Amino acid sequence: MKCPKCSDGELREMELPENVTIDMCPKCKGIWYDRGEVGFQQELERDIPELETVEKTKRPTGNDCPRCADGTKLEEMRYAVESDLMIDRCPKCEGIFLDKGELSKLESIAAKIDSFSARLARAVKDIDARGYFK
C-alpha cells in the first residue's frame, strides 16, 4: 500500500500483539489502521467513540486512501470533541491514518474515554444487580 502522505512511501505491515496488523510508513512513521483496529487496540467499542459529533468537523484532504486505492480521498476530522488531535479517515472503508506522534495522543484520549465508559458500565452493573432493570 502507498503512504497517503509521502509520494514515494510504501506502507509496511507490522504484527502487533493480539493479532492486530498495522501498516506503517518507514519514511514519515505514519500508521494506517483498518476499520476496527484502533478501537480494538484501545479497548474501545468503536474506532471513534464520538463519531456522530466529530464527523461534523470533517474536511476533505487531497490524500488518497491507501486501502481503497481508487482515488477515494481521506477526510480530516477531530478524534474527540474535547481534543485538537486531527486524524485522517477514509469515508469508504473507514480506515484511519495517524501521523507520527499522534498515536500517543490518541492513547491518552482513549484512556480517558475508556475509564469513563468503564465507570459507567460498572455503575449500570451495580444498578442492575440491585434489580432496578428487572
Cβ neighbours around 8 below 10 Å, total: 7
Side-chain half-sphere exposure of 11, counting CA atoms within 13 A: 24
Asked if 20 touches Zn ion (CB under 5 A), the answer is no
Q: Where are the beta strands (DSSP E) in the chain?
A: 12-16, 20-24, 31-33, 59-64, 73-78, 86-89, 96-98
Asked if 27 touches Zn ion (CB under 5 A), the answer is yes
- State the Cα–Cα distance between residues 33 and 96, nearest whole angstrom: 5
Residue closer to Zn ion by CB (options 12, 119) is 12
Asked if 3 touches Zn ion (CB under 5 A), the answer is yes
Minimum CB separation of residue 122 from Zn ion in Å reads 36
Q: In the sheet that 86-89 helps form, which strands lie side by side, from edge to edge? A: 12-16, 20-24, 31-33, 96-98, 86-89, 73-78, 59-64
User: 125 and 119 in contact (C-beta within 8 Å)?
Assistant: no
User: 46 and 35 in contact (C-beta within 8 Å)?
Assistant: no
Asked if 12 touches Zn ion (CB under 5 A), the answer is no
Asked if 28 touches Zn ion (CB under 5 A), the answer is yes
Minimum CB separation of residue 47 from Zn ion in Å reads 13
Give residues 48-87 in contact with Zn ion (rule: CB under 5 A). Answer: 65, 67-68
Minimum CB separation of residue 7 from Zn ion in Å reads 9
- Among 32-40, 49-57, 90-98, 103-111, which window interacts with Zn ion (CB under 5 A)? 90-98
Residue closer to Zn ion by CB (options 79, 97) is 97
- Among 3-11, 38-46, 76-84, 125-133, which window interacts with Zn ion (CB under 5 A)? 3-11
